[in-house]
Amino acid sequence: MKPAADSAPRRGAEIVDKAQHPLREMVVIFLANRAAMVASIVLSIVVLAAIFGPMLHPVDPFEMVWAPFTPPGQDGFVLGTDYLGRDMLAALLNGGRVSLTIGLVAALMSVFIGISFGALAGFYRGLVEEVLMRITEFFQVLPTLLFSMVIVALFGASLEVVTIAIGVVSWTAVARITRAEFLRIRELEYVTASRAAGASNVTLMTRVILPNALPPIIVQAALMVGSAILFEAGLAFLGLSDPNVVSWGQIIGSNRPYILDAGFTVTIPGLAIFVTVLSISLIGDGLNDALNPKLRAR
């Protein structure tokens, strides 16, 4: 059927669509990934529980409220009590806050450090790149757990120190990815076009190249939240985290001697870590499918 005269494509112009930000298609692909969708829902529940849980269940996790080792479901304690008779549910909810916060902040720190190193190295090349990459390699080969233990031993075990300790040892992957993306993108013509138009180096790095380099960095950042949570759990398990706060790792660590008598005190926080980190990994995978390699072609 012949279309109306003014809707036929004219020279140069086409029937105009609505603007589609390049992210839109990525969201569509992500949402189509069922595992990622389920994981997102699960993670949302975990986060909501961590935020609102302690308010809805205002029990002090350090207070001894009942007999020790009460099994879950008994005497009104949904998750039972631990070896000191403290409420496991309260511990889990408060611990969730701490673990998630540390995971997020440490990951953000790592991303910030990593992007800085990678961007400068990939953009300037030459001596700058050599120096920065050697530093990166130094941190890369460090045994991360030992190094963070050293930091905690030196500066004391507080929330801030632990977060920084984790952030400072985990950034190398982000740096490498950022550098690789910068190396690739700086050769593309639109970067030359911006330079020819008068963009300064800082503008090129931050406003032209970096936004286009983000997709693989985002994926890595998401995965790093998961690994930061595990890392903190490990430190707490070893008794190296802040003793004044409850975290999932700390629950496991303090209940460890009783694992055979009252396994639930260890399994429950363990499951919490497992579910959270798994969800984050699946979301990271979903992000990876959505963000790459479609963007490679652009």
The footprint of another protein (CB under 8 A) covers 1-3, 8-14, 16-17, 19-22, 188-190, 192-200, 203, 208, 211-212, 295, 298
C-beta separation of 199 from 208 below 8 A = yes
67: left (phi over 0), alpha (psi -120 to 50) or beta: beta
What does the CA dihedral 129, 132, 133, 134 come to, rounded to 10 degrees?
A: 120
Estimate the share of the chain in helix, then strand, then coil, as percent rounded to the nearest 5. 75, 0, 25
How far apart CA 174 and CA 183 sit, in angstroms, is 14
* Smallest gap from residue 189 Cβ to another protein (A): 4
Say which residue the tokens 């990459």 belong to: 133
Closest separation in Å from C-beta 190 to another protein = 5
CB 32, min distance to another protein, A: 8
Q: At 9, which amino acid appears?
A: P
Work out the angle between the directed axes of helices 88-124 and 248-255 (0-180°, nearest 10).
Answer: 130
**Minimum distance between the CB of residue 220 and another protein, rounded to whole angstroms?**
19
CB-based burial of residue 72 (10 Å sphere; 0-12 exposed, 13-18 middle, 19+ buried)?
middle
Cβ 12 to another protein shortest distance, Å: 3
Closest CA to 219 of 137, 136, 276, 281: 281
